[in-house]
Every structure is written in C-alpha cells, then in structure tokens.
Homo-oligomer: A and B are copies of this chain.
Amino acid sequence: MPQPQPAGFNRKSPIQGRAKQTVATILEATARILTEEGSERLTTNHLARRAGFSIGTIYQYFPNREAIVLALVERQRAEVERRVKAVLAGGEDAGPEARIAQIVRTLHQAFAVHRAPQRRLVQALLRLAATQGIPTPPDTVARAIFTIWRDAKGGRAPGESDVFVLTQSLFETLRQATLQSSPLLGTVDFEEALLRMVFGCLRGASQS
C-alpha cells in the first residue's frame, strides 16, 4: 500500500488491494461482533464503529446488511468445501469405508469447534442463515460419498431422494448438534453414530 507512486502507473492494483483489505476488516469486525456480542448487536452502525470505518464506507463495499452476513457465511462454507475436497483428492488408495469415514470425520471436525469464540461464530452464522435466504449445503458431498461406495461395491445409482436424505441427515444433524451446543459434538461416539447412519443410507440405497 505505497502512497507515493510513479505517476500514472498501475493505480488500480494498490487500490484494489486496499479494497480487499477493507472488506476483510469489515468481515472480521462482523465475526467479532457475532462472537463477542451476539447477532442482535450486529447493526450497521455498530459494525462500522467496531470496524473503524464510517457507515458510508461499509455501504461502499456491500449493498446492504444482508450481503455482509452472506459474505461471511460464504467464507465459512468455502473453508469447509476446501477441506472436504482435500480429502476427496487425497487417499485414493484407501478402502471406500476408510475414505467415507474420513469425509465424515472432516465434516464433524468442521462443526465441532471447541474454542468458544469460534464456536459462537458458527452458531450465530447458522442461526442467521435460517432467517435469511442462505444457500443450503451442496449435495456434492453426498454425491461423492455415493460415488466412492458404488465404485467399490457396485449396486444401483442413488436416486434424488437418497442424495437429499443423506445430505440433510448429515449436515442438519451436525448443524443441530452445534446449535444446541450438544456435548456429544466432538466425541468418538457421535462420529460413529453418524457413520452408521451414513453407511445405513448407502447399503439401503444400493440394495433395494
């Protein structure tokens, strides 16, 4: 972010860089409020103050309040997606059960955040997501799981309903455990129960 520059040279890039930095600062402040003060204190004015900008600046980067929350949710979602993809990519040589177990473990860990602040953030986002028009979890994970299973075990292709049920059962159970701050979250027991449910869906779907 150099101030004095060769005149007329590449003026855009540093500015874009600053913009990116500003957006990041705003999102960070949003996360901090959600974490430390609760979603009802997430007003645009308060956010501006905590971010160290004026409200006007906030509106320079986001069209409205909702967009800010959406951006934060998206950031979180992308992080989970990234992790799952990493698992899908790696470990091609492991057995199907092991790979599926790994996927479930990854998701579990993404939700089972233990440090209180981070956890409160995830909770707040999940709660806001319910109110606003926030995209549902993608069925890519469920589809990937079905694919791994079929590639190894064969059986018929899963129907729409199978994918839907698996996606929702997996994500929503984790979501609810998080929202309720369930003590089960993070335990081996819980993960195993989840896994049994997943395998139940798989076996059922391919047999019937």
Within the complex, the shortest CB–CB distance from A176 to chain B, in Å, comes to: 5
Q: What 1/0 mask marks residues of chain A from 168 to 204 whose CB sits below 8 Å from any chain B CB?
A: 1100110111001010100101101111111111111
Is B173 in contact with A193, judged by CB distance below 8 angstroms?
no
Residues of A99-154 at the interface with B, using a CB-CB cut-off of 8 Å, are 127, 130-131, 136
Q: In the complex, which residue of chain B has the Cβ closest to the Cβ of A194? A: B165
Judge if A61 is at the interface, Cβ distance under 8 Å. no
Chain B residue contacts of A204, Cβ below 8 A: 193, 195-197, 199-200
Judge if A93 is at the interface, Cβ distance under 8 Å. no
The answer to whether A197 and B201 touch (CB under 8 A), given A130-B130, A172-B172, A176-B136, is yes
Is A168 in contact with B164, judged by CB distance below 8 angstroms?
no
Interface residues on chain A, size class: 35 or more
| Residue of A159, A176, A199 most packed against chain B (CB within 10 A) | A176
Is B162 in contact with A168, judged by CB distance below 8 angstroms?
no
Q: Which of B130, B175, B190 contacts A127 (CB 8 A)?
A: B130
Expressed in whole angstroms, the Cα–Cα distance for A105 and B190 within the complex equals 26
Chain B residue contacts of A127, Cβ below 8 A: 130-131
Q: In the complex, which residue of chain B has the Cβ closest to the Cβ of A45? A: B60
Expressed in whole angstroms, the Cα–Cα distance for A193 and B142 within the complex equals 14
Judge if A80 is at the interface, Cβ distance under 8 Å. no
Q: Which of B136, B193, B202, B203 contacts A165 (CB 8 A)?
A: B193
Q: Which of B161, B196, B205 contacts A201 (CB 8 A)?
A: B196
Is B136 in contact with A192, judged by CB distance below 8 angstroms?
no
Judge if A13 is at the interface, Cβ distance under 8 Å. no
Within the complex, the shortest CB–CB distance from A50 to chain B, in Å, comes to: 18
Judge if A10 is at the interface, Cβ distance under 8 Å. no
Is A176 in contact with B184, judged by CB distance below 8 angstroms?
no
Q: Which A-B residue pairs are the 6 nearest by beta carbons?
A: A200-B200, A196-B204, A172-B172, A169-B169, A130-B130, A161-B193
